[in-house]
Structure 1
Amino acid sequence: MKKVLILGCPGAGKSTFARKLRDKTGLPLYYLDMIWHKPDRTTITKQEFDAKLSEIIKQEEWIIDGNYGRTLEMRFKECDTVFFLNLPTSVCLTGAEERIGSEREDMPWQEEELSAEFRDFIINFSRDEIPEINEMLRKYKNKNIIIFKSRKEVDAWK
């Protein structure tokens, strides 16, 4: 395990799992949200994002935390392991709500509320995002793929 993707709905616990995996393996960890978002809540351009991501995936080792469907295939091509936190929507909503007001190393600002837009993204994640993730999982079935369906499974993984 040298090049790892961590995917799942916001609030599923991707970043927490990514940190534990980083601490266990010593692999460098990259949060796509930290690349895409600026502290002033604006974003970099798609071209800048793609260039930074391309530099990361050229490295010998990495953990990449985040979905960003537009760049999913380029990461799948290069990874050897995928962790997909496919948790129920209710669990993800609770996870997202519980982190409000917390400082996090995976976001360049502190969330003050769960906006209606973000809540809708979480609610619609299984409809809008999971089909593409599942397509990549089928296409790249030769990768080491671990799918978690509950927090208990995530916590039990060694």
Structure 2
Amino acid sequence: MKKIAIIGNPGSGKSTLAKHLGSRLNLPVYHMDQLFWNPGWNSVDKDTLLKKHDEILLEKEWIIEGNYGVTLEQRLREADTIIFLHYSTLRSLYGITRRRIQYHNKTRPDMTEGCPERLNWEFFQYTRKFNKEKVPNLYSHLKPYINEKTYIFHSRGQLNQYLKTIRKPNNFIEKI
């Protein structure tokens, strides 16, 4: 596991999982939200996003978390491991609400500084409709890799069982 793509529902814990795996496997972690957003919730243009994304893909090791359709196909192709957190709508809504409370008036660690956590009606609706409207497209992108390098989890319990099987590299020295 040297190039890991993590995708999934909003609020499913993609960033938390990326940080956990990055620490455990000693891999650099990149958050698509940080690549996409400038301070003040101003998005970058498509060319800038693609350039930043492509530079990361050239590295020999990475974990990239986030969906972002314009970059998804290339990221999935380059990854040696794909993790899809396909959780229930209720679990996702709980996740975005909990995150909003946890980071109220603060910028969360996986977001660009100057983008304080927010939860507006538009994002709530996006999350509510994600499984119905976005997941079918994600599965179509995953189809070529389903039996090869893709892990799909429908609950935290399933994910936690999988995480127990992942070992630290032999040359990894735990930070004290």
TM-score (norm 1): 0.94
Structure-2 residue corresponding to 1:68: 68
Amino acid at match of 1:118: F
2:116 aligns to what? Answer: 110
1:50-91 CA-partner distances (Å, limit 9, x unpaired): 011010011111000000012111111111100100000100
Q: Which runs of 4+ in 1 moved over 6 A?
A: none
Amino acid at match of 1:111: E
Q: In structure 1, what is the Cα distance between the partners aligned to 2:65 and 2:100?
A: 19
Matched-pair contact (CA < 8 Å) for 2:108–2:117: no
Greater gyration radius: 2
Could you give the per-residue CA deviations for residues 25-69 of structure 1, whole angstroms, max 9, x where no partner exists? 011100000010012110111000001101001111100000001
Aligned sequence identity (%): 38
User: Are 2:42 and 1:42 equivalent residues in the alignment?
Assistant: yes
Cα offset for 1:15? Answer: 0.6
Give TM-score, length-normalised by structure 2.
0.85
- Where 1:64 maps in the other structure, the secondary structure is strand
Match of 2:10 in 1: 10
Q: Please tell me the residue identity of whatever aligns with 2:155.
A: S
Q: How many residues align?
A: 157
SS at match of 2:19: helix
Q: After TM superposition, give the deviation of residue 107 of structure 1 in Å.
A: 1.2
Q: Is the 8 A contact 1:82 1:146 kept in 2?
A: yes
Unaligned runs of 5+ in 2: 165-176
> Is 1:120 the counterpart of 2:125 in the alignment?
yes
User: 2:174 corresponds to which residue?
Assistant: none
Amino acid corresponding to residue 18 of structure 2 in structure 1: A
Task: Say if 2:158 is the partner of 1:153.
Answer: yes
